[in-house]
Structure 1
Amino acid sequence: MNKKKFVIPMILSAAIIGGSFSGGAAYAIQPDDSGYPKIQKMDAKKSLKRDTNHSIFAKKLGVKKKKDVAAINYVEKNKNLLKMKEPAKHLKVKKMEIDKFGMTHVRLQQTKNGIPVEGAEVIVHYDKEGTVQTVNGQYSNDIAETDLNTKAKITADQAIEKAKEIVSAPKDLDYEPTQELVVYPFNGENYVTYKVNVNFLGEHPGNWDVFIDARTGDVVDMYNELMHVDGDDYKPMKGVGTGVLGEKRELHISKKKDPKLGNGMMFFLNDINHDHLGGITTYDFEKEFDSRTNPLPGKLFAKKNNSWNDDYDRAAVDAHYNSEKVYHYYLDKHGRNSLDDKGMEIKSTVHYGDGYNNAFWNGRQMTYGDGDGQFMISLSAGLDVAAHEMTHGVTTHTAGLKYRNESGALNEAFSDIFGALVNEDSWEIGEDIMAPEAKASGRTALRSMSNPNKFPVNAAYTPYGNGSGVYPKHMDEFYHLPLNLDNGGVHVNSSIINHAAYLTGEQIGKDKLGQIYYRALTVYLTPDSNFSDARQALIQSAIDIYGENSTEAQATENGLNQVGILQ
């Protein structure tokens, strides 16, 4: 008798796998090729034309400048070498940071008539003596030179209503939609749009960015950024619990007097033990999809004792425990205080939906399904899954990698890579969340960084690759997917970067690999960075930390060379 062969379902959003698997049916988190929303300005089944933003990476331009000289002035003086048109007119400072090496990084935002250009950011990097070492990012000369009418004809409220309609948002939303007027270079044209974010839950949750033409009201573009795979009365204490796979966990929790118990104590999965952190909290969604009856994040897990050993508690125990492990990884290894580096509360919700085979970052928190018991078990069981989703949060607050095509593949790759760095046991992603039936069929993990070809992709993706039908480990195997399949390949092509990281890590170890990749993500990458930009960023990061021609810099370059990312 043939064993059932499990393959990853349609990967269509930024969850750990991008879709879910239940009883043999694939449930897409954003519409697939048979149900992609109608967009007036594009054909979702076609690949995008190259946007007008062009990549910049220049080292040691030869002009010594001190960091008290404005970065914009420096770029203006070197505009010919950087091939940038009128940068002083169109750039403004977005953020300035000084890192642990004493380097200063000034992030500049391109604008047009005072309106930000989506994805167009340039970073000027100074060494500790104040000399410019590197300039990198993306800048659109086309927009700089074009006489673009940036006056809106429709209102922000009209744009929001249009966005809610196009994504079929429920009437009651968990978060108020946000909007910003931006210049949007897309598919060979430049638009003035309202960038509207619509975030909601349900069986098909969404964290949609919708770009509405500010003059016509048409939908120019849209993509789902759902990134998938208080109080003085609380007193900190410790508790114990049992995880999904039977591990005994020591937990940081809290207690609080409850008048309903005659001032007896209630205990909560609410960790307030860490200084300068808003807390680590774990919530119950009670197997619901509908947030109208149980708004996200759900109900804070509470008990009358500090022992969390019931079967229903297990998913929450792992989510709570793993969140703290990931928090400590970023704090201890990189000096990062939570996902935003400002101590934001780390929220997790478990028991999302019924048999839901996915986990996701919705731009604000982590959410975990329980799995269907055939393909997956509770996804919170995976430390690497927690690290994957929380790294999406780090990316949101740093590089902001756009969730489509190569930038989206980088977004997914960095989450996978840090998943493997936090969970030091292997180079596999998701090995602890696979159900027995999936393992018996040979599906022992979601993805493999050491051997991406080990696992098949969805059959719908095969015609867009080299015909092998497996995850790629080299640019020769790159999948040229249209937008309606995996947002242009974010979960599939990410395995090329994953493999490069593995090859480097095998040479220099996971600790040094983490330092290099963290620096690239937080210091050099920008929203529209592609694989070529990542090569430059990673090599430069290795040089910053370990020196020119160091073993670490050479290993970083060698890993990228071996997967065909050569320039």
Structure 2
Amino acid sequence: MHGLLGLLGITRPTEVTVVIAAGSPVRQSVPSGLAMGELTSRDGVEVTPGRNGAVGVIDGRFADQLVVNPDDAAAVLNSLAFALGAVAGFADPSAITASSVGEGADAEHFYRYTEKIGGVPVLGSEVILVTNAAGEVTSVFNYYRGLGEGFDITPGAAVDEDAEVRLIAGTAYLGPDVDSRMLESFLSTSTFTRELVVYTHDDATSDLAWRVTVVVPDTGEMSPSGATYLIDADGASAGDVILGTSNAQAATSISIAKDWLGESRVMTIDTRTVLWFRTYQLIDAPRNIKTYKTSYSLFGLGSPTLPGTVVKRGFFGWDAAAVSAHANMAVVYDYFQDVLGRTSFDDDGALVSVSIRYNPRISTGGYSNAFWDPNRQLFAFGDAGYLQASVDVVAHEFVHAVVSYVVGDGGSVLDYGESGALNEAYGDILGALVEGKTGDGRWLIGEDSDHGVVRNLADPGSIRTAYGPYRERVSDMYSGEGDDRGEHVNSTVFSHAAYLMMTDAATAGVSDQTWAKVFYHSLGRLGTSAKFVDGRAAVLSSAGEQGLTAAQLAAIARAFDTVEIYGAAPSSVIAV
């Protein structure tokens, strides 16, 4: 953005001047049905083309009306219907949700409209209107698909019963060769929730689908948490699994480690006296953090149960793994509260449950991983690798939880393919900023754990995975089916761009706290199916609101260009 047309090497298309509405006086109605050729241009407003010739991003204060509720947001969005590629009056206030990040004068409010057809949500079809703390409109991000009421939302006969959908999801979870008795037991003991949705593929075709979340019983026999599936609900492919993802969002897909080194830390605990016994537990009441040790059946030899039992100080002192998890989670919690103005991951003081020494019994060599589970609303760290000893890894998982609530409603979002890679990248970027190191360790993720370095944002290719080295540019991205279509191995394309922009000489005066606010505030601008190019637009818009200069914004765009995350030519003119 900001005058980078030439740098992007994009030939300017046939152009029509786009003029941005000055709007109506404060708190009065916004004119409806504004065509692009009828809008009035304003200084500082930039428009970026989006999908299907519609406007993708409007960045700048293009309307005078204050927006303080979904009704106000709907009025502004409906005034832009033509430019957004939507029908007149498309934005129903009842389909708009409101959320905020930041606090006080730094707060930003996000009004997210989600397209629905007969009450069925169209995944990723959203329009997000952004305001500052005063309610002044600062930008619009358009992910609208506009499928229309003519789209058939009637499930096929083969998948219109709950039992049919459960059977498909259960078989997908256990595998096609599962024993019928095991499948029957699994179906009776697991929890299934289903929702009819419209899923849009990368080629822009759309399918009616069942979104089924499988939550396994708290025995851990099958997986850490369960899985979510999209099952085709109509046509010749009815019953086919479109995609499936684990409910747990992991820090890394690598899983090999044996031992670790820990540190003693100052931490908040709970002390209780009953009769003549005094117990000490890892309960941080002021922050509402509880640290557990995963429980196992059969005297510790059987399956795990999450979260387990609260960690208590033993006869020989504290479990060092628990100390790392408890103390580092407090560091992360404080950073989000003190620097970013967010209270817990849901911004409402939610309980932060942390479970250590977890092993799903799928590996005899220990479980070297960490994850955020949106279904159980907890954080878990494996019994090998001791990833909780690394502040950036703990922060990485906390960011996944924050994304769940800022971009979604607390469930799993941005969890597959390029969208998943974007989520993983945000975890690493904010994780590194929370850790706040200088020197070589600044750009390493997981270096303080016994597992060792998980990713290197400065030199992604220096670390290899089962799918080859971590990627540095879009043209080199992994395109296979593994790693949920490369959500980890490709994440470093976006996070390497963050490294490049933060080390550019033009941004030397930008503090780590400001960078954290830039990335944190950009989350509210992301749709639930956002990809790298959407992340680019969101970061640039957020950086502008945080006061970065034109030269600094150019450095951000330059970093994205280097990793081949190109934005459309921004200008006050676009092709129509």
Fold equivalence (TM over 0.5): yes
Superposed, which structure 2 residues align to 1:373-452 within 5 Å? 377-400=385-408, 401-425=413-437, 426-434=442-450, 445-452=453-460
Residues 184, 297 of structure 1: alpha-carbon distance in 2 compared, 3 angstrom cutoff: same
The alpha carbon displacement at 1:528 in A equals 0.9
SS of the aligned residue for 2:268 comes to strand
Write the distance in 1 (CA, Å) between the matches of 2:75 and 2:515. 35
Summarize the Cα distance change of 1:102–1:146 in structure 2 as closer, same or farther, 3 Å threshold: same
Residues 484-517 of structure 1: per-residue CA shift (max 9 Å, x gap): 2111111111101111111222333422211111
Describe the shift of the 1:210–1:555 C-alpha distance in structure 2 as closer, same or farther (beyond 3 A): same
Greater shift in the superposed pair: 211-220 or 356-365:
211-220
**How far, CA to CA, are the matches of 2:155 and 2:414 in structure 1?**
25
- TM-score, normalised to structure 1, is 0.74
Counterparts of 1:86 and 1:115, CA distance in 2: 20
Displacement, 1:281? 0.9
What is the rounded CA distance, in whole Å, between the counterparts of 1:55 and 1:62 in structure 2? 14
Q: Does structure 2 conserve the Cα–Cα contact (< 8 Å) formed by 1:95 and 1:106? A: yes
SS state of the match for residue 295, structure 1?
Answer: strand
State the match for 2:125 in structure 1. Answer: 120
Output the CA distance in 1 between the equivalents of 2:225 and 2:290: 22
Q: Distance in 1 between matches of 2:393 and 2:545?
A: 30
Whether 2:193 is the aligned partner of 1:185: answer: no
Q: Which amino acid aligns with 2:311?
A: F
Distance in 2 (CA, whole Å) between partners of 1:144 and 1:63 is 27
CA contact 1:91–1:111 (8 Å) conserved in 2 = no
Cα 1:217–1:64 change in 2 (3 A) is: same
Provide closer, same or farther for how the CA distance between residues 164 and 308 of structure 1 changes in structure 2, counting only shifts above 3 A: farther
Equivalent residue, structure 1, for 2:263? 247
Alignment of 1:361-376 (within 5 A): 361-363=372-374, 364-371=377-384
For residues 458 and 425 of structure 2, the distance between their equivalents in structure 1, rounded to whole angstroms, comes to: 13
Residue 314 (str. 1) matches residue 336 (str. 2): no
Among 278, 289, 292, the alignment partner of 1:283 is 292
Residues 129-150 of structure 1: per-residue CA shift (max 9 Å, x gap): 6543321141112x22633234
In the other structure, the counterpart of 2:256 is: none
- The corresponding residue for 2:536 is 535
The aligned counterpart of 1:94 is: 96
Secondary structure of 1:297's aligned partner: strand
SS in 2 for 1:402: coil
**Alignment partners' CA distance in 1, 2:332 and 2:453:** 20
Gaps of 5+ in 2: 1-50, 175-182, 252-258, 568-576
Q: 2:555 — aligned with what? A: 555
Provide the C-alpha distance between the structure 1 equivalents of 2:191 and 2:53, rounded to a whole number of angstroms.
31
Please provide the CA RMSD for this pair.
3.2
Rounded to whole Å, the distance in 2 between the matches of 1:266 and 1:352 is 24
CA distance in 1, matches of 2:153, 2:475: 42
Q: Distance in 1 between matches of 2:490 and 2:455?
A: 12
Return the alpha-carbon distance in structure 1 between the equivalents of residues 289 and 133 of structure 2: 35
Report if aligned partners of 1:52, 1:185 keep a CA contact under 8 Å in 2.
no
Aligned pair count? 466
Distance 1:341 1:246, change over 3 A: same
Identical columns (%): 28
Shift of 1:223: 2.0
Query: Would the aligned equivalents of 1:199 and 1:362 in 2 still touch at CA under 8 Å?
Result: no
Q: Deviations over 1:290-346 (max 9, x none)?
A: 9986521011112367x734xxx1111111111111111111110111111111111
Match of 2:230 in 1: 211
SS at the partner of 2:489? coil
Report Cα offsets for 1:231-256 as digits up to 9, x if no partner.
xxxxxxxxxxxx95242212211123
Q: Residues 33-432 of structure 1: matches in 2 within 5 Å?
A: 56-60=56-60, 64-67=64-67, 70-86=72-88, 88=90, 92-97=94-99, 100=103, 101=106, 103-127=108-132, 130-141=135-146, 143-144=147-148, 146-150=150-154, 154-156=160-162, 158-168=164-174, 171=186, 176-186=191-201, 188-200=204-216, 201-202=220-221, 204-214=223-233, 216-229=238-251, 245-258=261-274, 262-274=275-287, 279-286=288-295, 294-303=304-313, 308-309=317-318, 313-353=319-359, 355-363=366-374, 364-371=377-384, 377-400=385-408, 401-425=413-437, 426-432=442-448
Unaligned 5+ segments in structure 1 are 1-50, 230-242, 372-376, 436-443, 462-468
SS of structure 1 residue aligned to 2:148: helix
Query: How many Å apart are 1:267 and its aligned residue?
Result: 1.7
Give the conservation status (yes or no) of the 8 Å contact 2:128–2:141: yes
Residues 112, 370 of structure 1: CA spacing in aligned structure 2 closer, same or farther, 3 A cutoff? same
Partner of 1:3: none
- Cα separation, partners in 2 of 1:94 and 1:334, compared to 1, 3 Å: same
SS in 1 for 2:355: strand
Tell me: CA distance 1:285–1:554, structure 2 relative to 1, closer, same or farther (3 Å). same
- Letter of the structure 2 residue corresponding to residue 323 of structure 1: M
CA contact under 8 A between 1:53 and 1:138: conserved in structure 2? Answer: no
Worse overlay, 174-183 or 399-408: 174-183
Q: Is the deviation greater in 98-107 or in 525-534?
A: 98-107
Name the residue aligned to 2:26. Answer: none
1:204 Cα deviation from its structure 2 partner: 3.8
Give 3-state SS (helix, strand or coil) of 2:307's partner. coil
Give SS of 1:303's match: coil
